[in-house]
């Protein structure tokens, strides 16, 4: 697929969603990371649409990503949940990412909540911790906005000084307090992958100001801001980063640790949706 243009339109996805769930208009979109797909099971009155039914959507090939759109109610709010994402390391995915995020916006969403599994660069933020993303550092090149720009969707140049919305961050803090969940805050650094980082890279990233590291999320955040969506983000910490702990870093380990701690993340997200005036 050409990275500069796609034969598919976000409206094609919206039309199918309306056929399957007439009159449904989600307020917030969710993108679920590795091993976190169980959150979709909490959605009430669900309508499931496999990605293979949606024009321009990918078929996820990474374990831990189901590959379906779930429409329904979560935390009392109508949501559109992408249960599974694609990553730049999988190949030519730029158009897939554009179609996924822009479809959420066109369905009616005005905010996006992104989640991911990440490694911690802070000894006091071990596996099982939750970290609210307050900013990011983008090493996951290329930028998903490279190529031709559609002014009807967003401007050629978009500022990222408010990548993560301050009002949504405050709602997340309130949700954590209400649920009695310790919520760390920090900067997420996104790498291209699929190789894990070296200990030397982790030391360098720490000096740059990163608190957690992963291989996803930032492209969706950039696309969301480009089309006017507010963004909130939460990382589920699955391990200490390379050189900081004794465990062998593997994707299987990531999935296992995410499964152990996903209940806490699910509780936080549901409470966040419940109290947020979206």
Query: pLDDT digit string (tens) for 188-213?
Result: 999 999 999 999 999 999 999 999 99
Query: Using alpha carbons only, what angle is made at residue 275 by residues 269 and 278, rounded to the nearest 5 degrees?
Result: 90
Architecture of the CATH domain 10-275 = 3-Layer(aba) Sandwich (3.40)
Q: Which of 88, 92, 111 is nearest to 101 (CA)?
A: 111
Are the C-beta atoms of 94 and 144 separated by less than 8 Å?
yes
The whole-angstrom separation of Cα 47 and Cα 66 is 15
8-12, 20-24, 141-145, 233-237: segment of lowest average pLDDT: 141-145
The whole-angstrom separation of Cα 3 and Cα 10 is 16
Neighbours of 150 (CB within 10 A): 12
pTM value is 0.92
Q: Which residues are tagged catalytic?
A: 34, 65, 87, 89-90, 117, 215-216, 239, 251
**Per-residue exposure over 87-113, b if at least 16 CB sit within 10 Å of its own CB, e if not:** bbeeeebbbbbbbbbbbbbbbbbebbb
The whole-angstrom separation of Cα 117 and Cα 261 is 10
Model confidence over 226-268: pLDDT tens digits? Answer: 999 999 999 999 999 988 976 666 767 667 776 777 889 999 9
Query: Can you give the length of the chain in residues?
Result: 278
Alpha-carbon Rg for the chain in angstroms:
17
């Amino acid at each position: 697929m050409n990275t500069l243009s796609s034969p598919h339109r976000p409206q094609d996805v919206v039309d199918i969603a309306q056929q399957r769930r007439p009159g449904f208009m989600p307020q917030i979109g969710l993108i679920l990371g590795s091993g976190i797909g169980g959150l979709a099971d909490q959605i009430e009155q669900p309508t499931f649409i496999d990605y293979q039914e949606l024009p321009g959507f990918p078929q996820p090939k990474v374990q831990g990503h189901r590959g379906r759109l779930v429409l329904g109610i979560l935390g009392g709010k109508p949501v559109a949940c992408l249960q599974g994402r694609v990553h730049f390391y999988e190949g030519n995915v730029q158009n897939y990412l554009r179609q996924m995020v822009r479809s959420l916006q066109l369905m009616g969403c005005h905010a996006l909540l992104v989640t991911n599994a990440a490694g911690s660069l802070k000894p006091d933020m071990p596996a099982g911790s939750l970290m609210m993303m307050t900013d990011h550092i983008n090493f996951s090149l290329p930028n998903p906005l490279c190529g031709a720009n559609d002014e009807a969707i967003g401007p050629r140049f978009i500022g990222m000084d408010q990548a993560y919305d301050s009002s949504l961050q405050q709602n997340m803090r309130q949700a954590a307090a209400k649920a009695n969940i310790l919520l760390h805050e920090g900067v997420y650094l996104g790498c291209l992958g699929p190789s894990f980082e070296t200990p030397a890279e982790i030391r360098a990233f720490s000096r740059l100001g990163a608190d957690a590291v992963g291989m996803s999320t930032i492209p969706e955040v950039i696309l969301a801001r480009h089309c006017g969506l507010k963004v909130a983000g939460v990382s589920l910490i699955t391990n200490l980063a390379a050189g900081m702990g004794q465990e062998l870093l593997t994707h299987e380990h990531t999935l296992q640790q995410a499964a152990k701690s996903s209940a806490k993340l699910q509780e936080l997200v549901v409470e966040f949706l419940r109290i947020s005036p979206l």
